[in-house]
Amino acid sequence: MLDPALEADHTRPMGARVHLVDGTYELFRAHFGAPSSRAPDGREVGAIRGLLRSLLGLLGEPEVTHLGVAFDHTVESFRNELFEGYKTGEGIDPELYAQFPLAEEASRALGLCTWPMIELEADDALATAARRLGEDAQVAQVLICSPDKDLMQCVRGDRVICVDRMRGKRYDAEGVQEKMGVPPSSIPDWLALVGDAADGIPGIPRWGAKSAAAALSAYGRLEAIPDDAERWTVKVRGAQRLAESLRAHREDALRYRALTRLREDAEIETGLEALRWRGCDFEALGALAESLGDRRLVGRAREVQGRRERALSGR
């Protein structure tokens, strides 16, 4: 259920707690939320500097020991072949788009396991890692660090949860049900009905968040919702028109669900040793700091790493 704090849960069994970070979301958030900044050569690098601050903040938390960061290397993926209206790079600020490669470089310089996705998307990498690590007996908990509704389908009980770092909230299966009105397994169906403007998915006419949650709470998946509202076992306002709309657009709904369902077969390294944070690559970080014109970056990274080393040594 919803947890108001982000402190470690010491009641959980011993084992690794793995943090999976939506790097593309972090980059976009930094671009729109952090101040503009120019590198010595004139390039806009405000998003990268914001991303680095965010990742260093995460590394500064004592509970964070194993991390994987996923990025969209390009905006387009296999989903663009399935649906013409799916999101593309059109309309993205060129100065933000130019920072995509730098984001991966920054993540690696911090010593983080980095997954740049090309044919699949960053969310698919996170879904793959969440499934594999959630089944690993050496893992106590998997925390997917993103507020993206798509990723809520990956939640499994309180073993795999979603974390909204900005709002300080965590969502386990009960929390997803409370927030969205459906269990994690029904999130792709819910998105297919309601739509997702960020991904270019229009949804089904007349269907909204409440009607989708009510119908799916009773039927669980799109195929199980009867064509005829007279057969519905749940009371929904405007049921007749909703049923007519779904009947007319059922093939579209199934196509949209195929888009919103995350893949769990990404070819990425998800072993615990690969995800264990062993410290920054200070040579690479120094070169990056110089190119960004950020004189304080290396010092901040050394401070974060030093605090962790002192904590581990008991000093």
pLDDT grade, residue 115 (50/70/90)?
very high
pLDDT digits (tens, 9 = 90+) for 174-196: 999 999 999 999 999 999 999 99
Tens digits of residue pLDDT in 197-211: 999 999 999 999 999
Residues 31 and 58 in one domain: yes
Asked if 34 and 146 sit in the same domain, the reply is yes
The stretch 114-125 carries a mean pLDDT of 97
Please check whether residues 168 and 139 belong to one and the same domain.
yes
What's the mean pLDDT in 234-239? Answer: 93
What is the mean pLDDT of the segment spanning 131-137?
97
**36 and 91 fall within a common domain:** yes
| pLDDT of the residue at 310 | 81
How many Å apart are CA 37 and CA 54, to the nearest integer? 16
Residue 164 lies in a domain: yes
Please check whether residues 191 and 61 belong to one and the same domain: no
Buried-exposed string 17-27: b where 16+ CB fall within 10 A, e elsewhere:
bbbbbbbbbbb
Q: Determine the pLDDT at residue 314.
A: 65
In a domain, residue 3? The reply is no
48 occurs within a structural domain: yes
Is residue 136 in some structural domain? Answer: yes
**Chain mean pLDDT for the chain:** 93
Give the domain range for residue 197.
Answer: 184-260
pLDDT of residue 231 exceeding 50: yes
CB 262 within 8 A of CB 79: no
125 and 72 fall within a common domain: yes
Do 94 and 169 fall into the same domain?
Answer: yes
Same domain membership, residue 290 and residue 227: no
Residues 78 and 169 in one domain: yes
How many angstroms separate the CA atoms of 292 and 284, rounded? 12
Q: Which of 172, 133, 148, 150 is nearest to 261 (CA)?
A: 150
Whether pLDDT at 7 is above 60: no
Shared domain for 211 and 167, answered yes or no, is no
Residues 257-274: tens digit of each pLDDT: 999 999 999 999 999 999
Counted domains in the chain: 2
User: Where residue 41 sits, what CATH number does that domain have?
Assistant: 3.40.50.1010
* Cβ pair 161, 155 in contact under 8 A: yes
Whether residue 166 has pLDDT greater than 70? yes
